[in-house]
Homo-oligomer: A and B are copies of this chain.
Amino acid sequence: MTASINDVARAAGVSASTVSRALRGRPGVSDEVRDQIKAVAAQLGYTASRSASSLASGRTFTIGVLVPYVGRWFFGTVLDAAEQVFSAAGYDVLLYNLGSPETRKRFFTRLPVRKRVDAVLTLLIPEEEESAALRSLGVPLATTVGGARPGFTVVGIDDRAGTENAVRHLVNLGHRRIGMISGSSGPLHWTTPIDRRNAYLDVLADAGIAHDPALEADGDYTVEGGERAMTELLAVSRPPTAVFAQSDEMAMGALRALRRHRLRVPEDVSVIGFDDHELADVVGLTTVAQPVADQGAEAARLLLRQLDELGAEPPGQVRMPIRLVLRETTAPPSPRGPQ
């Protein structure tokens, strides 16, 4: 039914080897014959079977991409950009959505990407054994999340610097009671929340502000979590006049909580986020912008480079720039404080 290389060979009056060479642009075929073969192949609608060619050559021209939640803006955006780079280079993308613990566990025990991909880009932070499993694949590895890890090319941002920008902005506005909504859960090796927390503590210390543990709440990196966390922060005896959320989604949850409590932003409470979510602008959220799509594209490019120059050293760690985006959710504290 669907044409094979032999059909093309027969129709063109040449051997299968010549067809293979001609279609893949390899040398050793006269231009005349090559054009002939191309014409015949096009007419027959021939495409080489990926299964057969990767079985024969050992290369799959496929990249595995591991994602915790495709539906979340951050991951979707990274994936989108990475896919474009891969497909432009002739690679297909195999997507693994590993949000639930069961799916994730199954993936790492069965490792379905084995012998299926030429490289892996992971947007989730592998635990130690998971990293080892990925390394055992023997293919180039990259990630856009988490800190440096042996065997991985990591494209990221300076979380400390980003956080310092955010918290200092609040300090400079005159805030002294500055809360933080973090995403503390997650794998142990996820250094992001830790780095951001440390930077937060440092800025407070620098400003001579005593740290109050009651001003920290966990928002689980979701809108709902951010809302819960903000609600908690409002319940403490002296609520914060400003809040730094470790992600825009949590910041938006915080905005919702504040609205429900009939508090005005930024008059009663200032809020600053992290990411520059596509909708941050819609709600006027002040935030630390990171180049999300660029990180995905860059990670993809670095992976492709390793595939091209097979002996090449993995590039290690790459930092992308961040910047503070001032909008309308931050202002000096009101003289009377919240409420």
In the complex, how many residues of chain A place their beta carbon closer than 8 angstroms to a beta carbon of chain B?
58
Contact of A116 among B50, B103, B284 (CB under 8 A): B50
Q: Does A283 contact B (CB under 8 A)?
A: yes
| B52, B115, B282: the one within 8 Å of A223 (CB) | B282
- CB contacts under 8 Å to B, within A225-280, are 252-253, 255-256, 259, 278-279
Q: Which chain A residues numbered 86 to 129 have a C-beta less than 8 Å away from chain B?
A: 87-88, 92-97, 99-100, 103, 110-112, 114-116
- Of B51, B76, B116, which one neighbours A92 at CB under 8 angstroms? B116
The docked-state distance in angstroms from the alpha carbon of A76 to that of B99 is 13
Given contacts A52-B55, A87-B96, A92-B112, 6 further A-B contacts (CB under 8 A): A51-B52, A51-B54, A73-B76, A75-B76, A87-B103, A283-B283
Task: Identify which of residues 1-27 in chain A touch chain B, using a CB-to-CB cut-off of 8 Å.
Answer: 1-2
Secondary structure at chain A's binding surface: helix, strand, loop or mixed?
mixed
The answer, yes or no, to whether A71 is at the interface (CB within 8 Å) is: yes
- Residues on B with beta carbons closer than 8 Å to the beta carbon of A283: 282-283
Most buried by B among A71, A84, A92, A283: A71
Taking the full assembly, how many copies of this chain does it contain? 2
CA distance A114 to B334 in the complex (A): 64
**Inside 8 A of A97's CB, which chain B residues have their CB?**
80, 83-84, 87, 93
Instruction: Say if the beta carbon of A60 comes within 8 Å of chain B.
Output: yes
Q: In the bound complex, what is the Cα–Cα distance between A136 and B62 (angstroms)? A: 23
Please give the distance in Å from A325's CB to the nearest CB on chain B. 15
Chain B residues closer than 8 Å to A185, beta-carbon distance: none
